[in-house]
């Protein structure tokens, strides 16, 4: 048997500073869809997620709740795992930065950098944003406040260790140049070059003495390792790098795709590859930076009362509809918007009208005209048959292109391209008239083509909406696994054998009362 190719996907590790909302969930939902897609294509896909549990921010939140930091992060880790279970996230490992397997290696990496001279001791004076755990220079501030979160910064001075970023700036630019797939989409790379590298990369302060909830520097334990150096290394410590058993590291590194939100692009596109170069390791093949899901009044925040938690949508509208909305909502080049109106509209139009009705009508017609048995192929009989085949295959190829570029929203758009063409095909071929005219040959052809094109839709939907895809296969009687494989898409006219649709179609999605549901979501958001 042919060896399956490794494909390593990571999400950022999340700060457990509060409940995850639909925006934070986005990165993980996208990584999960990518993993399922790669599994479908036969890769040995491996996905990592986890929690970033150190740092002053977490310590403060824990204390505010009257808890020891460790107790607090333990509870949050359980909560995070519960959410990912509810969302059916198919991860392989969940790393926590407070785990021994991680901390030990962070200390070793720090020691190593001290030995090579990449880390040196100095003094840091600057403006510090506590929630972001980041020092800024005066010029980096926006209106005198933190450029990332907009909160107050305060002057701080401390003895600290620094990482020699300057030394690697040229090497990083060369790396960008020679690895065009390293950053997707491409414009994020230009941003890094123009905003941070060209103006001159500063050495990075990589230790703190103002608090101690972190990994201690082994040779100088009054210092703790800066959370970002601690956190970024999770992607390799989870694979057993520098441990007694590093077979996962040998197998999966360099990562195939690391998915991160735009706010943490700088850490991943600049510091992370530099740390790896300094360790003599290869940077990941691709880092994909996505935009944000925004609300009409800006960022989601508890104080604005505009937060949407995934459970609200999942419990009422189902997991697949929730995932569909999230993945569809974020275009490549700008932020996406969540509004209750838009959510209900997408549900009713894309899911109920376009997809649900197509499957339902097809099952209904095959029952009505054929007692449920899908007719066999005997060459194209309608003028439109060839076009439906062509569009189905083209959209599938375009889907592959979009997935290669990690453009999930556009990839879904390609699937909906097939769905729209199928609906138009029904209107053009008017099966009810063919039935009345007893034009059996043409009617056979219409039903057969619909089943094949919907089969393409279901196969392509599997990574995004697994339950919906399964229901389509079941309703069409395509229950054998051979109909569901990636390779089954090589041939439009795959031999289906004797296939029988279910007797009574089940609606995939039930149409929502628009006004009532908009009201419902708005009310729930206030809670
Ligand atoms: N702990 C760091 C990551 C360290 S990785 C070595 C962190 N954590 S986070 O919890 O703040 O963010 C987790 C992910 O959620 C990030 O990719 C972030 O961009 C993403 N999002 C947070 N809010 C978001 C939206 N509103 N929309 C889309 N993604 C969002 O950063």
For 171-187, what is the mean pLDDT? 97
pLDDT digits (tens, 9 = 90+) for 369-408: 999 999 999 888 888 999 999 999 999 999 999 999 999 9
DSSP code per residue over 510-526 = PPP-HHHHHHHHHHHHH
Ligand 1: centre distance to CA 261 (Å): 6
Its CATH architecture, for the domain 311-490, is Orthogonal Bundle (1.10)
Reply yes or no on whether the pLDDT at 287 is more than 70.
yes
Phi-psi region at 156: left, alpha or beta (left = phi > 0; alpha = psi -120 to 50): beta
Lowest mean pLDDT among 27-36, 123-132, 191-200: 123-132
Amino acid 380: pLDDT: 84
Q: Can you tell me the distance from the alpha carbon of 441 to that of 424, in angstroms, rounded to the nearest whole number?
A: 20
CATH superfamily of 6-290: HUPs (3.40.50.620)
Residue nearest to atom 6 of ligand 1 (CA): 232
Domain with CATH 1.10.730.10 in the chain: 311-490
Reply yes or no on whether the pLDDT at 133 is more than 80.
no
Asked whether the bond before 254 is cis by omega within 30 degrees of 0, the reply is yes
Name the residue with higher pLDDT: 297 or 33.
33
Report how far Cα 523 is from the mean position of its chain's Cα atoms: 28
Share the mean pLDDT of the chain.
Answer: 96
Reply yes or no on whether the pLDDT at 301 is more than 90.
no
Amino acid 1: pLDDT: 59
User: What contacts 483, CB < 8 A, 6 or more positions away?
Assistant: 455, 459, 473, 494, 496
Amino acid 397: pLDDT: 98
For 100-106, what is the mean pLDDT? 98
Reply yes or no on whether the pLDDT at 409 is more than 70.
yes
Q: Can you tell me the distance from the alpha carbon of 5 to that of 513, in angstroms, rounded to the nearest whole number?
A: 47
Indicate if ligand 1 lies below 6 Å from the C-beta of 14: yes
Atom of ligand 1 nearest to the CA of 15: 10
pLDDT digits (tens, 9 = 90+) for 466-520: 999 999 999 999 999 999 999 999 999 999 999 999 999 999 999 999 999 999 9
Residue nearest to atom 12 of ligand 1 (CA): 14
Reply yes or no on whether the pLDDT at 253 is more than 80.
yes
Indicate if ligand 1 lies below 6 Å from the C-beta of 176: no
Domain with CATH 3.40.50.620 in the chain: 6-290
For 215-233, what is the mean pLDDT? 96
For 119-127, what is the mean pLDDT? 91
Indicate if ligand 1 lies below 6 Å from the C-beta of 27: yes
pLDDT confidence bin for 138, thresholds 50/70/90? confident
pLDDT digits (tens, 9 = 90+) for 315-350: 999 999 999 999 999 988 899 999 999 999 999 999
Query: Whose CA is closest to 90, among 381, 290, 323, 358?
Result: 323
Angle at alpha carbon of residue 518, lines to 515 and 523, rounded to 5°: 125
């Amino acid at each position: 048997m042919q060896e399956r190719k490794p494909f390593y996907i990571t999400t950022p590790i999340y700060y457990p500073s509060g409940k995850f909302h639909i925006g934070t969930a986005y990165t993980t939902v996208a990584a999960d869809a990518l993993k399922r897609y790669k599994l479908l294509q036969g890769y040995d896909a491996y996905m990592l997620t986890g929690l970033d549990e150190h740092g002053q921010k977490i310590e403060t939140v824990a204390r505010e709740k009257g808890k020891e930091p460790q107790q607090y992060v333990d509870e949050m880790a359980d909560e995070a795992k519960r959410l990912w279970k509810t969302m059916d996230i198919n991860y392989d490992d969940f790393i926590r930065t407070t785990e021994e397997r991680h901390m030990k290696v962070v200390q070793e990496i720090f020691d190593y950098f001290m030995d090579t001279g990449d880390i040196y001791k100095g003094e840091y004076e600057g403006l510090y944003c506590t929630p972001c755990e980041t020092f800024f220079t005066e010029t980096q501030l926006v209106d005198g406040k933190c450029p990332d979160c907009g909160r107050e910064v305060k002057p701080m001075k401390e003895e600290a260790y620094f990482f020699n970023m300057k030394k690697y700036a040229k090497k990083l630019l060369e790396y960008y140049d020679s690895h065009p797939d390293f950053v997707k989409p491409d414009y994020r790379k230009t941003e890094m070059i123009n905003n941070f590298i060209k103006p001159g990369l500063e050495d990075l302060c990589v230790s703190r003495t103002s608090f101690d909830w972190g990994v201690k520097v082994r040779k100088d334990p009054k210092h703790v390792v800066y959370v970002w150096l601690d956190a970024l290394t999770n992607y390799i410590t989870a694979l057993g790098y520098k441990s007694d058993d590093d077979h996962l590291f040998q197998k999966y590194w360099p990562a195939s795709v690391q998915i991160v939100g735009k706010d943490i692009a700088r850490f991943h596109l600049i510091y992370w590859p530099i740390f790896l170069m300094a360790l003599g390791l290869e940077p990941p093949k691709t880092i994909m930076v996505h935009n944000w899901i925004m609300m009409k009044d800006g960022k989601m925040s508890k104080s604005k009362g505009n937060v949407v938690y995934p459970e609200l949508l999942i419990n009422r509208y189902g997991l697949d509809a929730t995932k569909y909305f999230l993945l569809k909502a974020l275009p490549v080049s700008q932020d996406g918007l969540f509004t209750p109106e838009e959510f209900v509209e997408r549900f009713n139009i894309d899911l109920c009208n376009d997809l649900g009705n197509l499957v339902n009508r097809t099952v209904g017609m095959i029952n009505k005209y054929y007692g449920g048995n899908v007719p066999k192929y005997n060459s194209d009989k309608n003028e439109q048959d060839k076009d439906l085949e062509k569009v189905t295959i083209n959209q599938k190829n375009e889907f592959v292109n979009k997935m290669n570029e990690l453009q999930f929203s556009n990839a879904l758009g390609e699937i909906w391209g097939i769905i729209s063409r199928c609906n138009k095909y029904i209107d053009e071929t008017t099966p009810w008239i063919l039935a009345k005219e007893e034009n059996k040959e043409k009617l056979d052809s219409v039903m057969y083509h619909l089943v094949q094109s919907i089969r393409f839709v279901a196969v392509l939907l599997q990574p995004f909406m697994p339950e919906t895809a399964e229901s389509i296969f079941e309703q069409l009687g395509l229950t054998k696994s051979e109909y569901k494989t990636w390779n089954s898409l090589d041939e439009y006219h795959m031999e289906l054998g004797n296939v029988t649709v279910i007797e009574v179609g089940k609606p995939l999605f039930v149409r929502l009362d628009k006004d009532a549901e908009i009201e419902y979501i708005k009310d729930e958001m206030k809670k």
